[in-house]
Structure 1
Amino acid sequence: MSSSSSSVERYSRPAIFFHWAIALLVALAYLSIEIRGPKDSDSREFWSSIHFWAGVLVLALAVCRVLWRLWQSPPPERESNALLVFLARLAHLALYVFIFVQPLLGILLSNTAGYPVNLAWLNLNFTLVGADAIASPALQAAHVWLGNAFYWIIGLHALAAIGHHVIFKDRTLRRML
């Protein structure tokens, strides 16, 4: 296979960067919220700051990723099975919704709880909406529910990539490496 046909089958370097950077930041956001420590502790403040940073960076990179995708189309789909193509598109749509909605829910949750989103070490605070005692619990529930649901979606996405590599022995995984 020539290098030009190989490069057409792979995602572009920026697309690969956005994919893996967002994946690492999502993992960091999950990790930081799980190990943040007890309320009013230095550990909780530190890890909550990491969680906020990870979420804001996921949102920023998601915008860049979509802009890049509009400018540079992805390589052609390799799958010929209509059901697998549908499931892949559905999973990717769900992942895109997640990387936009989850950080926005987090920002709105902080704001409606009466706190600006504080990006520590930059002294940058921002507020999209004011405090709202009614909306805050609903946003909390949505943020937690979506975070828990996406453990499954992310796991299925990774499992599908590994399945393509190990079972189908195709280049689907390698296209994003």
Structure 2
Amino acid sequence: MPVLTIACAHEGKAKAACCRRFFAPVSVAMDKNAPLGGRYTPVAIALHWLIAALIVLNFIAAWVAEGMPKAQSAAVMANHKAIGLTILAASVVRLVWRLMRGSPPFDERLKAWEVAVARVTHWMFYFLMVGLPLSGWALASSARAGQGVSYFGMLDIPALPVAGDKASVGMYHEFHEVFATIMLALFALHVAAALKHQFIDRDTTMARMVPWLKRGVPASGD
């Protein structure tokens, strides 16, 4: 019986070692794409700044179009819609990447409520980055009686299957306006918080998404 027990134990260790060797390459491959050293992956960083730039550009386009003659305004708004669809596509990719790869840990010096606010803000951003352009697409589809949206004159994106009556147009317009207002407020809060962490708290929060910033900056008094 002791011989059998020793043999089983040895066999169990051999199986465990075999399993470790088998799964090790998978873990290494996954780690290459996981957030490294408290910083987002290059893909996440690129998508973050691309989407942020397009959002700013689209708000500027909408504001500029309001003061233009009708023909010029229509041309600017056509680009506004195409940019919005680009934001939608990039945001879906960003969200999928986030769910697959996760995010780097927060700076250990952050308070619990700061981490909670950051998490809520991030997920609100994801909701708006999809919801805002989606509501604009629905508005364009409803207002244009099912006609597609031109994507920079290269192709037509099919309209969403939404109603085209006056009430529906008004509803989608309201959604778009409300989402845009919340996005502006959240954007301002996000920028202010990032600057606070970088220049007042002097922690590593902003370095998670800005490749050239130093990490591990000591807090004041450390």
- Is TM-score (shorter-chain normalized) higher than 0.5? yes
| 1:39 CA drift (Å) | 5.3
Find the aligned partners of 1:125 and 1:73 in 2 and give their Cα distance: 31
Find the aligned partners of 2:92 and 2:69 in 1 and give their Cα distance: 33
Among candidates 105, 130, 135, match of residue 105 of structure 1: 135
Among candidates 201, 204, 214, match of residue 171 of structure 1: 204
Alignment correspondent of 2:8:
none
| 1:7 CA drift (Å) | 4.0
Alignment correspondent of 2:122:
92
Alignment correspondent of 1:3:
none
Residues 27-42 of structure 1 mapped to structure 2, 5 A cutoff: 27-36=56-65, 37-38=67-68, 40-41=70-71
1:125 aligns with 2:154: no
Alignment correspondent of 1:116:
148
What does the per-residue CA deviation read over 1:110-145, in whole Å, with 9 as the maximum and x for residues that have no partner?
Answer: 111124322232131311124232211011112112
Find the aligned partners of 1:53 and 1:150 in 2 and give their Cα distance: 19
Number of equivalent positions: 171
Instruction: Give the root-mean-square deviation of aligned CA atoms.
Output: 1.7
Alignment correspondent of 1:49:
78
What does the per-residue CA deviation read over 1:62-81, in whole Å, with 9 as the maximum and x for residues that have no partner?
Answer: 11111211222211122541
Range with greater deviation from structure 2 (32-41 or 7-16): 32-41
SS across alignment from 1:134: helix
User: TM-score of the superposition, structure 1-length normalised?
Assistant: 0.90
User: TM-score of the superposition, structure 2-length normalised?
Assistant: 0.72
What does the per-residue CA deviation read over 1:63-116, in whole Å, with 9 as the maximum and x for residues that have no partner?
Answer: 111121122221112254111111111111111111000011001111111243
Alignment correspondent of 2:31:
none
SS across alignment from 2:45: helix
Contact (CA 8 Å) 2:106, 2:205: kept in 1 or not? no
Range with greater deviation from structure 2 (107-116 or 87-96): 107-116
Alignment correspondent of 1:22:
51
After superposing on structure 2, the runs of 4+ consecutive aligned residues of structure 1 that deviate more than 6 Å are none
Unmatched runs of 5 consecutive residues or more in structure 2: 1-34, 211-222
Q: Larger Rg: 1 or 2?
A: 2
Alignment correspondent of 2:195:
162
